[in-house]
Amino acid sequence: MTTHHAPHPIATITADPDVPAITITRDFRATPEQLLRAHTDPDLFRRWIGPSSMTTEIEHWDARDGGSWRYTSALTGADDAGRHAFRGCFHTVAPGRIVQTFTWEGRPDDVALETLLFEDLGDGHCRLNARSLCDSFVGRDQWLASGMEVGINEGYAALQDLLDHDDHGGRS
């Protein structure tokens, strides 16, 4: 019997029925340190975040407790009219954990509190457990209906490729 594996795992995205939160879980062939670096190093982050059809520019990035960040994304080759801006604050940047806020500037009053945990699975594998606590069920449901799973899965596939093939991908 032959077993076929997808080239990249798909993230599990779930909505909490009791609170306005989204949970994202995905396994990587990486260490927790590599995933932390990929989420805090602005050059690495811009290379994998979002859908493959988008280009990201980092405008500000200070990945430390109390630091902040802002980036823009647009369809590759699009003019500024199609650019979307995102911003937030790092509350905690520590081994195995990031706590930050996340705001899409198109809806600046909707702020999510995100917790990213990097769980060491051993043997060079790690599980990313991310939870975004949204302002409301309406806001959470709008995120879920936005097609966010495309950006999440394409971005995480790009991150895995970066970790697998690029000496700058965070390997020690």
Residue 147's pLDDT is what? 85
Residues 6+ apart with CB under 8 A from 24: 11, 12, 13, 128, 129, 130, 131, 132, 152
Give the residues across from 84 on adjacent strands: 73
Residue 171 pLDDT: 36
In a domain, 2, yes or no: no
What is the model's pLDDT at position 101?
98
CA gap 42, 59 in Å, rounded: 9
- The pLDDT averaged over each successive group of 10 residues in the chain (172 residues) is 52 96 97 97 96 93 98 81 90 98 92 97 96 95 90 95 72 36
171: in domain = no
Domain presence at residue 1? no
Does residue 170 sit within a domain?
Answer: no
- Residue 126: inside a domain, yes or no? yes
Q: Is residue 94 part of a domain?
A: yes
Domain containing 72 equals 12-165
Note the pLDDT of residue 5: 40
Question: What pLDDT is recorded for position 167?
Answer: 52
Domain membership of residue 27 (yes or no) is yes
Q: How far apart are CA 69 and CA 65, in angstroms?
A: 12
Q: Assess if residue 105 is contained within a domain.
A: yes
Considering the entire predicted model, what is its pTM? 0.88
**What CATH number does residue 71 fall under?**
3.30.530.20
Total domains in the fold of the chain: 1
